[in-house]
């Protein structure tokens, strides 16, 4: 199975350059010194060499595993610890995200992208915990494919049932992320019938933003926001925004 993952992954991220990482890694190491221990760790990933260029100290507290093991064995070992039922969905998600980026996102905007997906991962106690991974591209190859990324991993309890989802967001001129791609690779919940614009409005409603603030962040009118809010409630058969926000706070991965 690991060999299969390797071949598919290499096809997705086929690249030719050898980027310089010294400046990025130096700053991440400085930051890691001051970060508190928490349920989140981060890495600098190199999909050209299938390696981790840097792993923050919090991996130990999050997964109970020594980061030197992953620094030595690289991504292949990381993949080998993913839940077998999530592998194909995860690979499909990566492939679709890359295809979408190359076909739909301009070269100039690719540095403004943020990608999120999730899967189950076996920790040091051989328990499959949930990981939500968010990756921001740092460097690109000669074909403008992202090959160096800053990846944040949030580890959640194995008791939480998450669907395998993937999303891509683009940072707009107001420094607000707008959803440009979303897909649920498990059972559909919020993905059917909800547009990307409505998904962004839902996400900002969860943050308690008003219609006026949402309109400003997304460069649309307040009346348009209110229309979207009514349509969202109708599609989800809900009576109030409060009911919607309560649902989303319990199921954040679906936005």
Are 46 and 21 within 8 A, CB to CB? yes
At residue 34, φ and ψ (nearest 5 deg) are: -100, -10
Q: Which sequence spans correspond to the domains of the chain?
A: 2-185, 188-255
Query: Which pair of tokens denotes residue 177?
Result: 């992320």
Phi and psi, residue 225, nearest 5°: -60, -45
Residue 206, both tokens: 């969860």
Fold of 2-185: Beta-Lactamase (3.30.450)
Estimate the crossing angle of helix 222-235 against helix 211-218, to 10 degrees.
Answer: 110
- Sequence-distant (6+) residues with CB within 8 A of 239 are 233
Q: pTM of the predicted model, to two decimals?
A: 0.73
- Asked if 2-185 and 188-255 have one fold, the answer is no
Q: How would you write the pLDDT of the chain (255 residues) with one tens digit per residue? A: 556 666 666 666 666 555 556 666 676 676 677 666 778 999 999 988 899 999 998 999 999 999 999 999 999 999 999 999 998 889 888 888 988 998 899 998 998 999 999 999 999 999 999 999 999 998 888 888 888 999 999 999 999 888 888 999 998 888 888 999 988 887 554 455 778 888 888 888 878 889 999 999 899 999 999 998 888 888 776 777 777 776 666 555 445
Give CATH for domain 188-255: 1.10.10.10
Q: What stretches of the chain show up as alpha helix (H) in DSSP? A: 2-12, 22-34, 58-63, 67-80, 84-104, 196-206, 211-218, 222-235, 241-250
- Asked whether 113 and 134 are in contact (CB, 8 A), the reply is no
Eight-state DSSP code of residue 36:
P
């Amino acid at each position: 199975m690991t060999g299969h993952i390797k071949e598919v992954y290499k096809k997705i991220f086929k690249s030719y350059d050898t980027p310089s990482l010294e400046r990025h890694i130096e700053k991440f190491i400085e930051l890691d010194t001051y970060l508190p221990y928490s349920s989140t760790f981060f890495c600098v990933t190199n999909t050209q060499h299938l390696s981790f260029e840097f792993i923050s100290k919090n991996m130990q507290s999050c997964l109970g595993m020594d980061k030197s093991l992953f620094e030595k064995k690289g991504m292949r070992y990381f993949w080998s610890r993913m839940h077998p039922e999530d592998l194909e969905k995860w690979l499909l998600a990566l492939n679709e995200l890359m295809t979408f980026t190359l076909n739909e996102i301009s070269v100039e905007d690719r540095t403004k992208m943020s990608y999120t997906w999730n899967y189950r991962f076996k920790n040091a106690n051989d328990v499959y915990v949930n990981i939500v991974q968010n990756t921001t591209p740092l460097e690109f190859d000669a074909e403008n494919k992202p090959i160096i990324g800053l990846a944040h991993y949030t580890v959640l309890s194995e008791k939480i049932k998450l669907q395998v989802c993937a999303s891509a967001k683009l940072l707009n001129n107001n420094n607000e992320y707008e959803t440009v791609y979303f897909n649920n690779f498990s059972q559909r919940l919020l993905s059917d019938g909800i547009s990307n614009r409505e998904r962004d409005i839902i996400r900002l409603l969860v943050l308690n933003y008003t219609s006026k603030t949402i309109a400003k962040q997304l460069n649309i009118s307040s009346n348009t926001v209110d229309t979207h809010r009514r349509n969202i409630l109708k599609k989800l058969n809900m009576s109030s925004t409060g009911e919607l926000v309560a649902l989303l706070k319990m199921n954040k991965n679906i936005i």
